[in-house]
Amino acid sequence: MRNRVFIKNLKEHIGKEVVLAGWVNIRRDQGKMVFFDFRDMTGIVQCVVLPSHTEAIEKAKEIRPEWVLKVSGIVNKRPEKNINPDVQNGDIELEVVSIEVLSPAHELPFDMSLEGYNLELTTELDNRALVLRHPKIQAVFKVQETIIDSFREFMKKNMFFEFQAPAITPATAEGGAEVFQVSYFDKKAYLTQSPQLYKQIVMSAFERCFSVNKIFRAEPSSTTRHLTEIVSLDAEMSFIDSWEDVRDMAEETVRFILKQVEEKNKEHLKILGATIPVMIEKTPTLSLREVQQRIFEKFKRDVRGEKDTNPEDERQICEIIKEETGSDFVFIYGYPTRKKPFYVYPNPEEPEYNEGMDLLCRGVEWLSGGRRISDYDQLMKHVEEWKMDPEKIKMFLEAFKYGVPPEGGFAFGAERMTMQLLGLKNIREASMFPRDMNRIDERLGSDGY
C-alpha cells in the first residue's frame, strides 16, 4: 500500500497527515467524539474522530472490532493530562480525517481485548484463526521464530551446513510401534521420527550440518507434553576430540538462543510474564550415577542403580544444582549403553555406560545428544547386538564404511523449548496448529475423516 506509515513509526510524523492501514481493536464513543484503538503489525495507536469531520464520524460510528480500515489523519501530541506512559504511543494520537473501510467483520464470538481475553485452551484451538490475532498468542510465536532463527544463525556462524531432512521414510529400523504409516502408492512408508540417521549421513560429507524439520510421533498419548507433529532442531558435528565438544556446542547454542530472545522479544516476554532461565558461565555436568547419589544424599530418595532418570529425579537434580550454583541448567551424561540407541558411543573406559547426554532446565529435559559411534566395525557390532536389520539402514551404514571422523550431535524440539522458556502449561500453546491424538485443527470426530 503506497504511502502507508507503520504505527511504530508514527512519532516521526508529529504534526503531519499520514495514512495508516490496519484493524480496529476497540471503539469507544464519548459524546460527540469517537475514539478507537487501531493496530497494524507494528503496534497500536489511539485514533480520535472529531464531530467536525462529518463523513469520518459517520463511518466511525459504524466500525467494530476487527474491521479493516485505511485511515488518514494528523499525528498529534496528546495533552499532558491524557498521556499514558504505560502503552505504546501513549503520548500521541491520530486525529482522523477520513476513513475507508477495506473489510467489515462479523461480530466477535468472545472478548479479544488484551485485558478481557480469557479463553480455555480448547476454545482457543477451536477458534485458532481468529485467536492468532491476539497479542498474547502472537508473542508466543514471535518468541518461537526467534528461537528457530537463532539456532540457524548460531549454526551458520559455526560453519554448519543446513540440509533438508526428509519426512517420508522407508521401513524404520527400530520397529514401527509409534510411527505413522503412509499409503505410498501401492506400498507402505512412514513419517520420520527423527532425522538422526540422515544428519549423520550429511555430516559424513559436510563435516557439520543442521536441519530444521518436522518429526512425527504416533504415541497414543494425550498429555500436556505430547504433539504428533514437532519442529525438530538437529545438529551434527565431526572432528570432535571428545563428547564434551558436543556438550559445549549444545550449551553455546542454547546460550545464544536465550540471549537473542532476551534482546529481541522484550515486549513479548513482558506480555507473557516470562523470565529467561539462568545459564551460568559453565553449566554443571553430572553423570547419571552422580545425579542419583546427589538425590540420595539430599532427599534420602534412593534411585541409585536405576537405568534412567524419571521426572521426579529431573526436578530434584535441577533443584539441587539451582541451589548450589544458581544455574537453571544441568547436563547429565553416562546412561547405560544398552538402554539407548545403537549409534550412541560407549565410554571406552567403562563401555556399559555411554557418552550420551541430556540438558535439563527447571526440572525438564530441553535437549538430547552425545557422541556417536564413527567406526564402521564398532557400528556393525552394535547393529548386530541391537538385533537390527542392516538392510533397512543400508544408506546410513554406507556413510560409515568410507571413513567418518569422531562425531556427535544434539537435537531439541522448538515447541518444547518455547513452552519451557515461556512457562506455558500445555505444549499445544507452543504450536501454531497443534496436532494430537484428538485434533488436527478441528477436533477429530469419532467417524474419522
Evaluated on CA atoms 97, 103, 108, 111, the torsion sign reads negative
Residue 440 in the binding site for its own copies (CB under 8 A): yes
Strand partners, 285: 331
Nearer to its own copies, 75 or 414 (CB): 414
Which of 375, 387, 314 lies closest to 346 in space, CA to CA?
A: 375
* Residue 218 is labelled as binding a ligand: yes
- Kindly state the smallest distance separating residue 359's Cβ from its own copies, in Å: 22
CB atoms within 10 A of CB 316: 20
To 5 degrees, how large is the angle CA 19–CA 21–CA 24?
125
Does residue 402 interact with its own copies by CB under 8 A? yes
Residues 26/34, Cβ–Cβ less than 8 Å: no
Shortest distance (Å) from residue 354 CB to its own copies: 20
Report in angstroms how near the CB of residue 190 gets to its own copies at its nearest.
Answer: 8
Closest CB to its own copies among residues 297, 389 = 389
Which C-beta is closer to its own copies: that of 50 or that of 121?
121
Within 81-100, the residues that bind its own copies by CB under 8 A are none
Q: Which stretch binds its own copies (CB under 8 A): 10-18, 45-53, 187-195, 294-302?
A: 187-195
Print the SS3 string covering 277-345. Answer: CCCCCCCCEEEHHHHHHHHHHHHCCCCCCCCCCCHHHHHHHHHHHHHHHCCCEEEEECCEHHHCCCCEC
Query: In the range 37-76, which residues lie near its own copies by CB under 8 A?
Result: 40-41, 66-68
Strand, helix or coil for residue 400 = helix
User: Binding segment for its own copies among 81-89, 246-254, 313-321, 392-400 (CB under 8 A)?
Assistant: 392-400
Quick check: 328 and 279 in contact, CB under 8 A?
A: yes
CA distance 327 to 323: 8
Q: Taking Cα atoms as reference points, which of 349, 309, 346, 347 lies closest to residue 330?
A: 309
* Shortest distance in whole angstroms from residue 185 CB to its own copies: 6
Under rule CB under 8 A, residue 345 binds its own copies: no
Contact 40, 86 (CB under 8 A): no
Structural contact between residues 335 and 356, judged by C-beta atoms closer than 8 angstroms: yes
Q: Which is nearer to its own copies, 163 or 335 (CB)?
A: 163
Of 111-170, binders to its own copies (CB under 8 A) are: 127-130, 132-133, 138, 141-142, 144-145, 148-149, 159, 161-170
What mask of x and - would describe binding to its own copies in positions 189 to 228, judged by CB under 8 A? Answer: x-x------x--xx-xxxxx----xx-x-x-x-------x
Stated length of the chain? 449
Identified binder of its own copies from the candidate list 33, 83, 280, 432, rule CB under 8 A? 432
Binding segment for its own copies (CB under 8 A), chosen from 87-95, 248-256, 270-278, 436-444, is 436-444
| Residues annotated in a binding site | 174, 217-219, 225-227, 365, 368, 372, 413-416
| Residues annotated in a binding site for L-aspartate | 174, 217, 368, 372
